[in-house]
Amino acid sequence: MTRTLLENARLIDPEADSITEGALVLEHGKIAKVLTQSTDITEEKFTAVNSVDCGGALLAPGIIDIGVKVGEPGERHKESFKTAGLAAAAGGVTTIVTRPDTLPAIDTPETLEFIRRRALETAPVNVLPMAALTKGREGKEMTEFGFLMDAGAVGFTDCDRVVTDTKVLTRAMSYARSLGALVMGHPQEPGLSKGSAVTSGKFATLRGLPGVSPMAERMGLDRDIALIEMTGVKYHADQITTARALPALERAKKNGFDVTAGTSMHHLTLNELDVADYRTFFKVKPPLRSEDDRHAVIDAIRTGLIDVISSFHTPQDEESKRLPYEEAASGAVGLETMLPVLLRLYHSGELELPTLFRALSLNPAKRLGLPAGRIAEGAPADLVLFDSDKPLVLDRFKLRSKSKNTPFDGARLQGKVLGTWVAGKRVFDVNA
């Protein structure tokens, strides 16, 4: 393997909560050395086969994105592993953890093997699949966890189809606990949230749109926490988006339950008013929340109560979005836009860069038991180089994803990915 020196960089270390000037030596797919002294860097230049001057840009662990939707199998016209991988590389995402809400659902070892093979053949980044919690995501019969784990599943989830039969969910959680498997839940009370398009309140009433109370999220989380206490399962809440759900999450963690939680880039940077005059590209699931909720979730990221930030990349074609708001499909693409969008929180002073990468890289790696997410000797050389101040106007038609459904089309952002490395190999170069 080529010995590569990345010099003249500012290293973001989410583990040490620091930013320092230095350089990295990459060899055999890993970080061989972390250098901070100019003399050491000069010496390494003589032994490095390839030297990259980072120009004072920021170098951080690559993003690990949990909950990415790829359209294979069944909806390849929306997104393929090749286009998702290219979008991820351009966005500084070095590992994508895929959802099983495909057609058919990823609920058998054979289907899982198919997507792993497709990803290995075409995606330039790491791809880790999650499998369905129940067969067909129908909430009636749990899948063969053991066989699916042997085939490479890193966790189990029915995504936004909440299992309504508590006995089935209890059995699935108990079985997952016996295997040490991770279960990812979507905290939502399905009866209350059924048919909703926005968060309930004055805005929803004025627009005449069916809304769901923020309490639906709290109720769904309360049920899951009770079952976690009963079964002892390892659990990750995919999206916590409301202030009302945070006290329950805090109690669960204080009680010592093996619980982590995530949120999405959209709920950190947008609010319910962005829907404005029925703009369907802003329709996501759960729906966008109030500004108070947005600030509460940002605070939870800052304190570590919410562990993970994800894009929840959900490609939808034009036909499914160009419909009346109630009928339009939910979801937005985010692999390529996540980092520049989240840098809004850095520029506004709401989150520091090490804190941001703790939620984007370090904590997802810890939850999945991966050695990545760190700037340390021996860690995988999965890295992103970016300029946090570079201005850009986002053009959705230039995105590498097949689908272009982003709410940030035309947005003025600050922050651009310059390069991405996976296992020491450069998979994205802004100048290429």
b/e per residue 208-225 (b: at least 16 CB within 10 A): ebebbbbebbbbbbbbbb
Helix (H) or strand (E) holding 86: helix 81-90
Confidence of residue 211 (pLDDT cuts 50, 70, 90): very high
DSSP letters for 289-312: --HHHHHHHHHHHHHTSS-EEE--
What is the mean predicted confidence (pLDDT) over 353-377? 98
Confidence of residue 2 (pLDDT cuts 50, 70, 90): confident
**Interval 82-91: pLDDT, tens:** 999 999 999 9
Hey, what are 13's tokens? 């270390």
Confidence of residue 74 (pLDDT cuts 50, 70, 90): very high
Coil, helix or strand for 237?
A: strand
Distances from the Cα of 214 to the Cα of 207, 239, 279, 346, angstroms: 18, 13, 21, 27
Instruction: Indicate the pTM of the whole model.
Output: 0.96
For residue 191, what pLDDT is reported? 94
Confidence of residue 38 (pLDDT cuts 50, 70, 90): low
What is the mean predicted confidence (pLDDT) over 58-78? 97
What is the mean predicted confidence (pLDDT) over 106-120? 96
What is the mean predicted confidence (pLDDT) over 274-297? 96
User: Does residue 308 contact residue 363 with C-beta atoms inside 8 Å?
Assistant: yes
Write the burial class of residue 205 (CB in 10 Å: 0-12 exposed, 13-18 middle, 19+ buried). Answer: exposed
CA atoms within 13 A on the CB side of 334: 30
Tell me the pLDDT of the chain averaged across its residues.
Answer: 96
- 195-202's contacts with Cβ under 8 Å and 24+ in sequence apart are 196/287, 197/283, 197/287, 197/325, 197/326, 198/272, 198/275, 198/287, 198/288, 199/272, 199/286, 199/287, 199/288, 199/289, 199/290, 201/272, 201/290
Hey, what are 361's tokens? 């890289």
Coil, helix or strand for 20?
A: strand
Report the percentage of the chain scoring pLDDT > 90: 94
Question: How far apart (Å, rounded) are the C-alpha atoms in residues 278 and 274?
Answer: 9
Give me the CATH code for the 62-368 domain, please.
Answer: 3.20.20.140
User: Does residue 254 contact residue 246 with C-beta atoms inside 8 Å?
Assistant: no
Q: Is the pLDDT of residue 353 over 80?
A: yes
What is the mean predicted confidence (pLDDT) over 159-170? 97
Confidence of residue 49 (pLDDT cuts 50, 70, 90): confident
User: Does residue 187 contact residue 220 with C-beta atoms inside 8 Å?
Assistant: yes
For residue 36, what pLDDT is reported? 84
Report the percentage of the chain scoring pLDDT > 70: 97
Question: How far apart (Å, rounded) are the C-alpha atoms in residues 142 and 44?
Answer: 53
For residue 46, what pLDDT is reported? 63
Nearest-5° Cα angle at 422, 419 to 428: 30
For residue 1, what pLDDT is reported? 56
What is the mean predicted confidence (pLDDT) over 194-216? 94
For residue 333, what pLDDT is reported? 98
For residue 234, what pLDDT is reported? 98
Hey, what are 36's tokens? 């901070």
DSSP letter for 163, please: -
Task: Provide the residue count of the chain.
Answer: 432
